[in-house]
Chain A
Amino acid sequence: MAHRSGPSGFLLTTYESAINWTRTRSMWAATFGLACCAIEMMATGAAHNDLARFGMEVFRASPRQADLMVVAGRVSQKMAPVLRQVYDQMSEPKWVISMGACASSGGMFNNYALVQGVDEVVPVDVYVPGCPPGPQSLLHGILTLQDKVMSGEITR
């Protein structure tokens, strides 16, 4: 982000990239654990993988305080309105990671009960494949999202 560093400890950059940088470094996730993936999301936050390295260890129970919704698990027809409402309650700017095959595409459950991909309900920024994706996959998804935010690819 540093475009030019001056001689006396000054850092020159654009206003936009400074804003983006701060956004990526403290993305707070809303707890939206649904199924198997939620357990892996918790494992990502735990000791071995340590989400705190990305300034993300604070999972917010209130959507008002969250920037990122990790949709971790299968979204049923009954849950979809709830999911949309939680998304609407989040304050801008907000991002969505669709974690796992079920959230991304319905996965192996192509049936009456499931929404075939959470992108039918909310806009998704990053899809993380896997059933369930391991913590490493989720971390990669988060890094990808940070890159996208940093580069200004996602502007809201």
Chain B
Amino acid sequence: MSDTPNVVTGDFEAPTTEPPSQPETADSAAAEARREIHDMWVAGTEEPAWMRSYTNEGAQEMLEAESDPALEIHRGTTVTDDFIVEEPADDDELQILNMGPQHPSTHGVLRLHLELDGETIRRVKPIIGYLHTGMEKTAETLTYMQGSTNVTRMDYLSPFHMELAFSLAVESLLGAEIPERGQAIRVLLTELNRVSSHLVWAATQGTDLGAVSMMIYGFRDREYILQFFEKVTGLRMNHNFIRPGGVAADLPDGWEEDVDEIIEKVSRGVSEYEELFNGNPIFRDRTIGVGVITPEECKALGVSGPIARASGIKWDLRKAFPYSGIDKYEFEVPTGKHGDVWDRYLVRIEEVKQSLGIVRQVLETMPAGDYRTLDRKVTPPPRKRIDESMEALIHHFKLFTSGFKVPAGETYQAVESPRGELGMYIVSDGRERPWRMHARTPSFNHVQALPTMMTDSLVADIVATIASCDPVLGDVDR
């Protein structure tokens, strides 16, 4: 990686920062500078028509039917239902329905533009960005030490996975080795996190299909896991616990009993859900054959995780590219056949059981030792040394104020989050802040695949399909 031609080399000056965009200073020099940036890519070229139109209000909304080349890509899902009208309707009979961004069953601030022909959805366009937080820009201003604080807020249902992906990427640039206990703690926390995330999915899937009691059950069982997280990390969500170099602290005393209790309670809960759902005619009718996506469409659209597995792709990053020593534990990768909402339900429920199995194995085989690397470049000196040595105190202070330097290079590291492939692409220029951090988030692809799943199905299936994708909008918009 050392003699790569394209790796950032040379000494960069800090980019000249203009004052932040303030609409009221339209006539000032700052506005002029912004105008220049804006014109940079159109300068000297004939401005094409579509460029002129992209600033129009509503440019992100659905295109006119005849000018929509993406339409053919999104079609192709066959759903058999008696109610679906086969003949395309006249334009006069189509109506546009706007769903969201503030809607109870879009799981956040997702907005869908629907073109309806009676009860049948003809076209869908997801409009996103209502939760755009600029995290990729913020990441460039934070040190690697602070970086996991930032990324953990992206996918707020699986914060540990975000932190793990970020830490693995930084560690692969650093070449750091994590001790076995640190890795086992990571596996323990991420797998528990997978369970808690799937419990929220079960809760919302149930609620959206009318089983409101499922909401109460799901959050009840999730609370046990969150209480354990709070005991370990100090926070219920957004933990900033898995950091480059290991984890922030060792597990608290008595964690074995807590985990044991969680496994027992959640296993009991899961069998309750199965009892509630499996034979439930309403749930079956509303999920079987709904929101179908084929394996080919999954590959082309980058759909991963439980949705791809439900359509029959036997693929799990934990098996294919094992990380954090997860290949030491035995687990199965469940797959479905039909790629519909029902199969996704079965796959996720099975994943919860498999994750609990991994947690049980970690519980039984937790190795002793250090929970973080002893590389003093990355890890602060132990508390005891700070009391004794001035150098250790300075070292500690330097590490937390200016961070550590990471060798120049770029890396892509992916983990299997509850939603699918969660990748972190980091470009380092050899300083203590990333030059560029990009998160490849699974929900982004899943929202993109919504038209494929929904086209030519019924309006009532929208909520079932969205809920089965389990999108987290913080994950989509970042």
- A-side residues, CB < 8 A to B, are 31-36, 38-40, 42-43, 46-48, 59, 61, 73-74, 76-79, 82, 86, 108-114, 131-132, 134
Q: Which of B125-139 contact A (CB under 8 A)?
A: 129-135, 137-138
Choose from B20, B130, B131, B149 the contact partner of A108 (Cβ within 8 Å).
Answer: B149
B143 at interface, CB cutoff 8 A: no
A111 touches B134 (CB 8 A): yes
B223 at interface, CB cutoff 8 A: yes
- B-side residues, CB < 8 A to A, are 20-21, 101-104, 108-109, 129-135, 137-138, 149-150, 153, 156-157, 200, 203, 215-216, 219-220, 222-223, 226, 236-238, 473-474, 477
A36 touches B134 (CB 8 A): no
B133 touches A79 (CB 8 A): no
A82 touches B238 (CB 8 A): no
Choose from A42, A73, A110 the contact partner of B131 (Cβ within 8 Å).
Answer: A73
Choose from B134, B200, B237, B477 the contact partner of A112 (Cβ within 8 Å).
Answer: B134
Leading 7 A-B pairs by shortest Cβ distance: A46-B219, A113-B134, A36-B156, A111-B134, A47-B220, A61-B104, A79-B130
A76 touches B131 (CB 8 A): yes
Interface SS of chain A: helix, strand, loop or mixed?
loop
Smallest CB separation, B387 vs chain A (Å): 31
Query: How far is it, in angstroms, between the C-alpha of A114 and the C-alpha of B150 when the chains are bound?
Result: 14
- A36-B237, A40-B236, A79-B101 are contacts. A113–B133 as well, Cβ < 8 Å? yes
Query: How far is it, in angstroms, between the C-alpha of A113 and the C-alpha of B150 when the chains are bound?
Result: 14
B220 touches A109 (CB 8 A): no
CB-CB < 8 A to B102: which residues of A?
Answer: 31-32, 82, 86
Query: How far is it, in angstroms, between the C-alpha of A131 and the C-alpha of B134 when the chains are bound?
Result: 17
Choose from B21, B133, B215 the contact partner of A76 (Cβ within 8 Å).
Answer: B133
Choose from A36, A42, A110 the contact partner of B219 (Cβ within 8 Å).
Answer: A42
Smallest CB separation, A50 vs chain B (Å): 9
Choose from B20, B109, B203, B237 the contact partner of A79 (Cβ within 8 Å).
Answer: B109
B236 touches A134 (CB 8 A): yes
11 contacts between A and B (CB under 8 A): A36-B474, A40-B236, A40-B237, A43-B226, A47-B216, A48-B219, A73-B131, A77-B132, A79-B130, A111-B137, A111-B138
Query: How far is it, in angstroms, between the C-alpha of A112 and the C-alpha of B109 when the chains are bound?
Result: 19
Choose from A108, A113, A132 the contact partner of B132 (Cβ within 8 Å).
Answer: A113
Which of B101, B153, B157 gathers the greatest number of chain A CB atoms within 10 Å?
B153
Smallest CB separation, A59 vs chain B (Å): 8
Q: Which residue of A lies closest to B102 (CB)?
A: A86
Q: Which residue of A lies closest to B157 (CB)?
A: A39
Q: Which residue of B lies closest to A73 (CB)?
A: B131
B130 touches A78 (CB 8 A): yes
CB-CB < 8 A to B104: which residues of A?
Answer: 31, 59, 61
CB-CB < 8 A to A79: which residues of B?
Answer: 101, 109, 130-131
A35 touches B474 (CB 8 A): yes
A34 touches B108 (CB 8 A): yes
Smallest CB separation, B34 vs chain A (Å): 11
Q: Which residue of B lies closest to A30 (CB)?
A: B102
Smallest CB separation, A110 vs chain B (Å): 8
